[in-house]
Amino acid sequence: MGKIEILDFKKNNLRKINSSLQNINHKNNKRDFVIKNPAGEHAICAGLKEEMSVTIKGHVGYYCGGMNQKANIYIEGNAGTGLGENMMSGTIHVKGNASQSAGATAHGGTIIIDGDASSRCGISMKGVDIIVKGSVGHMSAFMAQAGTLMICGDAGDALGDSIYETVIYLAGNTKSLGVDCIEKKVTKYDLKKIENLIKIGNVKKLKPHNFKKFGSARKLYNFNIDNVSDY
């Protein structure tokens, strides 16, 4: 492991900091970074492509960790809109809350949110695992295609609206289910999956049997005139 490098927004701008992370010096084995004074800047750690650890000391703005590949990003604060948008792999861990559209269109990797997530968490997700230790807002997992959304608290209106093959595990209650989203039977496979997510997210006080499972009824896959009002 190489020496930890400090990247300070009081000394460098966003372009320089992101460029240094996107083009790490392999010969010097620089793989551990700390970002200071982020002050809510947008697009911090966007487009990272290599294995590395980045700890951000403070709050971040929009699209932090967008398009991430392989990097492990730790945010010691809150995150703005589009956290981990379109990420492919790696981990993003937020110690605080996340704004709307966390994990939007994300294809892989893991996003952990210790607090709450706002509306449309996991919108159009395509393979990522999202663990929210708190609650999520309305329209979460809207048009979600693949992956898993685990919610340890409650969910707002229209959970899983127009969902495809994403699986939702919910420990609390939801105000309402979206179109074509139904509760499903929790299988032995689900219990093992939930147990693994609990370990990954270091979720305390909850056990696999505390979660309900939701997914697609698959009634929107093909047009049916009898269901025209649902389209």
Which tens digits make up the pLDDT trace of 167-222? Answer: 999 999 999 999 999 999 999 999 999 999 999 999 999 999 999 999 999 988 66
Phi/psi at 228 (5° precision): -60, -30
Q: Which of 60, 35, 65 shows the shortest CA–CA distance to 48?
A: 65
pLDDT at 120: 98
Q: How far apart are CA 198 and CA 22, in angstroms?
A: 31
Greatest Cα-to-Cα distance within the chain, rounded to the nearest angstrom: 64
Number of Cβ within a 10 Å radius of residue 39: 11
Burial of residue 182 (number of CB atoms within 10 Å: 0-12, 13-18, 19+): middle
What distances in angstroms separate CA 166 from CA 102, 125, 159, 206, 218, one per listed residue? 15, 8, 12, 22, 12
pLDDT at 26: 64
Q: Which of 20, 95, 21, 101 shows the shortest CA–CA distance to 59?
A: 95
**DSSP β-bridge partners for residue 148:** 129, 167
- For the chain, give the mean pLDDT: 94
**DSSP β-bridge partners for residue 88:** none
What percentage of the chain exceeds 70 in pLDDT? Answer: 93
Q: What is the dihedral of CA 183, 185, 189, 192, to 10 degrees?
A: 70
Which one is the CATH code of 5-230: 3.40.50.2300, 2.160.20.60, 2.40.110.10, 3.40.50.300?
2.160.20.60
